[in-house]
Structure 1
């Protein structure tokens, strides 16, 4: 085939514009520029006030999945959050800090063009990012509120930075080594919360009676 290769980002953008155009024609009172989700209901996934449509939808997914991490574990004591199932496991508390650390490193990579944590963030978050023996030694003795506050603090930075950006940015940003665009990177952050929420559930079901 001699036709020029289609730039997939341009195609995605044009496809999105076409779909939005059709939606505007068929539902004139629910244009994509206006929020269609209830910001009072975390179970409504979709565009949010203050963000472009796809970024708002991504944020609503991030908020939903991180909320499940906190809500599922809300009754656990400090001792239960520190429970170590076996010498090679990670505690539920350390996994909570790990998902927050993952969000931070993707902030540094996508918002600031870094390949790793900034020096300040590395000092604060690297143990939680790497987990293992250091995390087993250092991340303990904290109530659930400590981990919730950490996730909330990190999410506030994500939202602040995402408000400065648009859907074109989200669909761009391929990197040399991965060939992931920014949307894929931030979808990975979202599924990382879900993935480790599964681990937390497994550990929680095996807590000593």
Structure 2
């Protein structure tokens, strides 16, 4: 897959929103390309010096997107039940390290 690294305005939007959508689409394409061939073991690997796994960072991205969707489109926050699912991914660190994704 060849990725076009030029920022272009996505069709159907104003110029600035189109550029933002284009950047988000580019980020998604690059992320998917980079992780496409990784094994579960590679996604779950945590360096001995600490940090978060690639899998934890991917779930963090999903959790932040979910939070923004709730706030922007439904004008609400996570319910208690939703927060139980997403909380570790929102904060990462020890919370992310101690939760199998």
1:124 is displaced (CA, Å) by: 2.9
Residue of structure 2 in register with 1:46 after alignment? 8
Given that 1:42 and 1:63 are in contact with CA atoms closer than 8 Å, whether structure 2 keeps it comes out as no
1:98 is displaced (CA, Å) by: 0.5
Residue of structure 2 in register with 1:111 after alignment? 73
1:81 aligns with 2:43: yes
Q: Which has the higher contact order (CA 8 A, sep 6+)?
A: 1
1:132 is displaced (CA, Å) by: 2.7
RMSD of aligned residue pairs (Cα, Å): 2.4
- In the alignment, which of 66, 84, 101 is matched to residue 123 of structure 1? 84
| Matches of 2:73 and 2:14, distance apart in 1 | 16
| Matches of 1:73 and 1:111, distance apart in 2 | 29
| 5+ residue gaps, structure 1 | 1-40, 141-209
Given that 1:88 and 1:132 are in contact with CA atoms closer than 8 Å, whether structure 2 keeps it comes out as no
Residue of structure 2 in register with 1:97 after alignment? 59
Residue of structure 2 in register with 1:68 after alignment? 30
- Indicate how the Cα distance of structure 1 residues 54 and 127 shifts in structure 2: closer, same or farther if over 3 A, else same: same
1:136 aligns with 2:70: no
TM-score, structure 1 length as denominator? 0.40
